[in-house]
Amino acid sequence: MVNTANISKELLLGILETVTDPEVPVLTINDLGILRDVQLKDDGSVEVFITPTYNGCPAMDMIATNIRLALAEHGIQNIKVTSVLSPAWTTDWMSEEGKRKLKEYGIAPPQYSSGHSRWPNDNVTCPHCNSQHTNLISEFGSTACKALYQCNDCQEPFDYFKCH
């Protein structure tokens, strides 16, 4: 057990910055905007608050496990991970760095804020060739939070991270 007198919120946030999304491993939970808060309690325990990208997201159990493992690697043992459902997560919470990482990974980042429909009126920009000549193939891609598109120019299929 680590001496909690030497632990700060900044240290905890730094450790949590290493926790990635198991479905899109180039994104951290901070990039996604699902890390809501972390608190060091008076009894030395740590509570981490996360918001799922949608209710029933199957990655949340793995993310909670990875949070516990990351903190335990630094000697922190008394850890509680709390899911916060309200307010609901929105793609507006994603960092610009996270959106850039998505594009580099081959996934089109959300194009609009949460106030718009999750289906853009204009075509989604292809993350491979930047063409806007794309077509929706399926409302669901590799995961439920993504849609499957295909580029008419480079012919590559790609996921689009839906706006929420």
Same domain, 50 and 102: no
What is the domain count for the chain?
Answer: 2
Query: How confident is the model at residue 143, as a pLDDT?
Result: 84
Q: Which domain holds residue 15?
A: 4-83
Query: How confident is the model at residue 2, as a pLDDT?
Result: 53
User: 97 Cβ partners below 8 Å, 6+ apart?
Assistant: 31
Same domain, 77 and 96: no
Kindly calculate the radius of gyration of the chain based on its CA atoms and give it in whole angstroms.
18
Residue with tokens 């299929």: 157
Same domain, 62 and 98: no
Last residue of a domain, one of 35, 53, 83: 83
Same domain, 19 and 74: yes
What is the pLDDT confidence band of residue 4, given thresholds at 50, 70 and 90? low
Same domain, 61 and 111: no
Q: Whole-prediction pTM value?
A: 0.84
Q: Can you give the length of the chain in residues?
A: 164
Residue % of the chain over a pLDDT of 90: 70
Query: How confident is the model at residue 121, as a pLDDT?
Result: 52
Q: What is the pLDDT of residues 105-133, one digit of tens each?
A: 999 999 865 555 555 555 799 999 999 99
Same domain, 48 and 116: no
Last residue of a domain, one of 83, 109, 144: 83
Same domain, 69 and 100: no
135 by Cβ neighbours in 10 Å (0-12 / 13-18 / 19+) ranks as exposed
Same domain, 60 and 97: no
Last residue of a domain, one of 83, 113, 132: 83
C-alpha triplet 28, 53, 77: angle, nearest 5°: 55
Query: How confident is the model at residue 159, as a pLDDT?
Result: 94
Please report, for the domain that includes residue 17, its CATH number: 3.30.300.130
